[in-house]
Structure 1
Amino acid sequence: MSRPARFTRGHTDDLMSFLAAAPSPYHAVAAAASRLERAGFRRVEETDPWTGPADSADSQGSADGPGGRYVVRGGAIIAWYVPEGVSPATPFRIIGAHTDSPNLRVKPVPDTGAHGWRQIAVEIYGGALLNTWLDRDLGLSGRLSMRDGTTRLFAVDRPLLRVPQLAVHLDRTVNSEGLKLDKQRHMTPVWGLGDAREGDLLAYVAGKTNAAVEEITGWDLMAHSVEPPAYLGRDQELVAGPRMDNLLSVHAGTAALVSAAADGEDLPYIPVLAAFDHEENGSQSDTGADGPLLGSVLERSVFARGGTYEERARAFAGSVCLSSDTGHAVHPNYAERHEPGHHPMPNGGPILKVNVNQRYATDGVGRSVFVRACERAGVEWQAFVSHNSMPCGTTIGPITAARHGIATVDAGVAILSMHSARELCGAEDPPMLAAVMRAFLEV
């Protein structure tokens, strides 16, 4: 099968730019919003009325007529496009993803150190593959909360921090017995020499933002690898980069939504992108998939178009969510860890993720929707299921299905090194995923 021309290898080039521009969930949301703005989408504030003229100077219009809108809340973004002529009961086609990745996050009292080293106290976020953060040049990024109630993005994208590994001469059994890391004692990055009390990370951050220290009253800061994404392999058929889980899906969903909006007059559904924060630690937050954000936005969209609760129920009942998250490609050195007969390969097309115990939300009906989307896009697909002796991970899919009563199917792209500081995928898979997402919005 051939891939539609609208999603070519240039999509992967743009993905690499997106990854580099999104070291934190807040930057990922800003990068997605920028692409939506260029496509004519306008931000709608949750605190504004969604019918009639908008009161806020930051809002570009109400949410009751045709056109593209998006809502930003912290590290989450919900975007949707209302075609001409739809009714309040028109179902939604939702692409779900998440903006967060496992990493090292700065503690409330950040400055620490010992024996003449200045260090930064960090807490492990999500299920990070700890050894991949060792001896890696790290920058610092995230969000600052200011005294006046505003927030600012912050990023230092140069080598600033490093978690040094113990030399083999001082750990003679590391190669025979394995590396054993204590999250509290062994994962504290260094960032200079001298008295730890003189490290003063907050003063450094203030200086980089031209703000007084006393203006910064809160922060959500994290380390990130500063090594840029790159093509890899003899024929450059692979891509190595950070945060593919799950910014690869956020980027593909954004591209699919923009493409759908360009053909808006032919859409039978209302296409939606829902990219949540905090998936890596359970999704239970005001910006996570287990919070009320998606349901609130969809309901308000129905009501803004004059709908009733009955029409809201009809719209939800006819809706489908494609929960897109990365999955496991077969590992050539550990093939026994994978289910026989289910060995997804890079550049083999998107994977349909199935778990009968509902760690993934896919059922036979969802599979049918996914297959139709792949056929419409002209894209091959693969199946993924976990080995029976291996615990299965999960996604926002089951949460979305249970919380909102919306039929959901789990899919994604097969990668290696999931939850590493640097992951690996096929260079052809991102545009194929975007093409399937685009087709899903209208099948």
Structure 2
Amino acid sequence: MHIADFNADLFNFLDASPTPFHAVAQMQTRLQAAGFELCREDQVWALQPGQGYYTLRNGSALIAWRQPTAEEGFVGGLRLTGAHTDSPCLKVKPTPELQRKGYWQLGVEVYGGVLQNPWFDRELSLAGRVSVRRSQGELAHLLLDFARPIAVIPSLAIHLDREANSNRSINAQTFLPPVLGQSDEKIDFRAVLKQALLEQGETDIEQVLDYELSFYPYQKAAYVGFAQEFILSARLDNLLSCYTGLQALVHSKPGPGQVLICNDHEEVGSASACGAQGPMLQHWLERVLPASEQRYAVLARSVFVSADNAHGVHPNFADKHDENHGPLLNAGPVIKLNANQRYATNSETSSIFRDLAREAEQPVQAFVVRSDMGCGSTIGPITATETGIRTVDVGVPQFAMHSIREMAGSEDAFALYEILKAFNQRTRL
């Protein structure tokens, strides 16, 4: 795959994945096109050597894998790549209708560590999952995407807030409800959703029961820079890693056990049935390797690459980085380290990743947070704790993490893809 084709499809994936539900649906489409078969969690699995499979949980998390070839078996352990499908956003509340001064709005709840200021004055659309009852009484869970600008969060004019540029804090309850239109009559939001589903092509909806819906910026992913050095998009953290891991799996030759794990709810702590702290991976391991003695031996030979974007050194805020550990955009993926185990990398796993980068002829960088600042975390330490698998935390460098629009180098995702392909096909680690 050429880098231009890789980025073009990455843009398509980002634009078509406004929520974790849509991201998983997009990954499912690509896996099926590559010959991977669905293994439903409520059925018995009959797995064949060399065949690709995937399983879903909650429609927002996914594990995809290729069974090792008959010759290789699980002798060399598993090559696992992990990412997360969720991003910070504004989610619609259960009873969201607001009617004020002739405008109708929706109450929203902040999901994750949202950088809130950039959400103002943006064309917003709405997407997610809607649960309905059919006319015969059965329940259905449907994806919905309005796919057009339907809302905005207007800023207050500087004339009415003279300190807006120097001393403004955002009240999430009162500042963030988006404006969707004008009406003097009470709006039934569930009736709006029913009509939108019908317009989307659904034909049998008796009642909208509930939903999980998020606002998102309508603006598409794009190149930025005089020489297109950068990419700008919503949800780069962490759909970029989901896409990169998926492409590495699909384009790897059958061999060792190759696995992609895309969990939900990382941005709020990973403690859910489909989060990294939940039992999803453990359940999968027990089904694929039912004999405990064999499973423990395989896990001892396995390596987990936790792929989640890293903080690139910002030219306007270079002092926020350790002077020797400021990753540059377009200078390669970043190995993330932290002495207090906020990242799971150790010298053994970082060496493995560096050697894979050498094999793939790709550059690699390192990130350590300033000693006087706190450090974020990823699914890496959680997965390492739950499974005991050797883990390395990596990611492409980016700017504006958790903003409504994020920025990364146009070369780094492809570099990570090449390294992950080498990882999937390495017979011994």
The TM-score range, normalised by the shorter chain, is: over 0.9
Distance, in Å, in 1 between the alignment partners of 2:205 and 2:156 is 35
Query: Which SS does the other structure have where 2:425 is aligned?
Result: coil
For 1:221, the equivalent position in structure 2 comes to 213
Instruction: For residue 107 of structure 1, give the secondary structure of its aligned residue in structure 2.
Output: strand
Deviation at 1:394, TM superposition (A): 0.3
Q: TM-score scaled to structure 2, two decimals?
A: 0.94
**1:124–1:183 Cα contact (<8 Å) kept:** yes
TM-score normalized by structure 1?
0.92
Which residue is equivalent to 2:81?
Answer: 95
The aligned counterpart of 1:206 is 194
| Contact 2:266/2:275 (<8 A) preserved | yes
| Structure 2 runs not aligned, ≥5 long | none
Are residues 81 and 7 of structure 1, via their aligned partners in 2, closer, same or farther at CA, if it must alter by over 3 Å? farther
Measured after TM superposition, the shift of residue 196 of structure 1 is: 5.9
**Which one of the candidate residues 340, 346, 360 is aligned to 2:329?**
346
2:68 aligned residue:
83
In the alignment, which of 300, 308, 314 is matched to residue 325 of structure 1? 308
Matched ranges for 1:14-29 at <5 A: 14-29=9-24
Q: Is 2:68–2:258's contact at 8 Å kept on the other side of the alignment?
A: no
The residue number in structure 2 matching 1:313 is: 296
Q: Deviations over 1:315-338 (max 9, x none)?
A: 111111000000111011111111
Per-residue CA deviation, residues 48-97 of structure 1 (Å, 9 max, x unaligned), is 011xxxxxxxxxxx335430000011210100001321435551110000
Alignment of 1:378 with 2:361, yes or no, is: yes
Structure 1 Cα separation of the partners of residues 206 and 342 of structure 2: 45
Asked if 2 retains the 8 angstrom alpha-carbon contact of 1:94 and 1:271, the reply is: yes
Q: Which residue of structure 2 lines up, in the alignment, with residue 49 of structure 1?
A: 44
Cα shift at 1:195: 2.9
2 CA distance for matches of 1:92 and 1:165?
50
Distance 2:276 2:184 in 1: 43
How high is the sequence identity, in percent, across the aligned residues? 42
Summarize deviations over 1:253-272 as a string: whole Å, max 9, x none: 00000011xx21xx2x2010
Aligned alpha-carbon RMSD (Å): 1.3
Q: Quick one: distance in 2 between partners of 1:113 and 1:102?
A: 26
SS of residue paired to 1:161: coil
1:106 has 2:92 as partner: yes
Deviation at 1:134, TM superposition (A): 0.7
Q: CA deviation at 1:200?
A: 1.9
Match of 1:189 in 2: 178
1:55 aligns with: none
Which whole-Å CA distance do the structure 2 matches of 1:104 and 1:240 have between them? 20
Matched, 1:67 2:51: yes
* CA displacement, residues 187-220 of structure 1 (integer Å, 9 cap, x when unaligned): 11110112362x2221111111126764322211
The residue that corresponds to 1:394 in the other structure is 377
1:129 correspondence with 2:115:
yes
- Measured after TM superposition, the shift of residue 295 of structure 1 is 1.4
Unaligned stretches of 5+ in structure 1? 1-5, 51-61
Counterpart of 2:184 in structure 1: which amino acid?
D
The answer on 1:33 being equivalent to 2:33 is: no
Given that 1:415 and 1:424 are in contact with CA atoms closer than 8 Å, whether structure 2 keeps it comes out as yes
Q: How many pairs are equivalent? A: 416
Give the 5 Å matches for 1:5-20. 6-20=1-15
Farther-moved stretch of structure 1 (120-129 vs 8-17): 8-17
Of 368-377 and 393-402, deviating more is 368-377
Q: Does structure 1 residue 356 correspond to structure 2 residue 342?
A: no
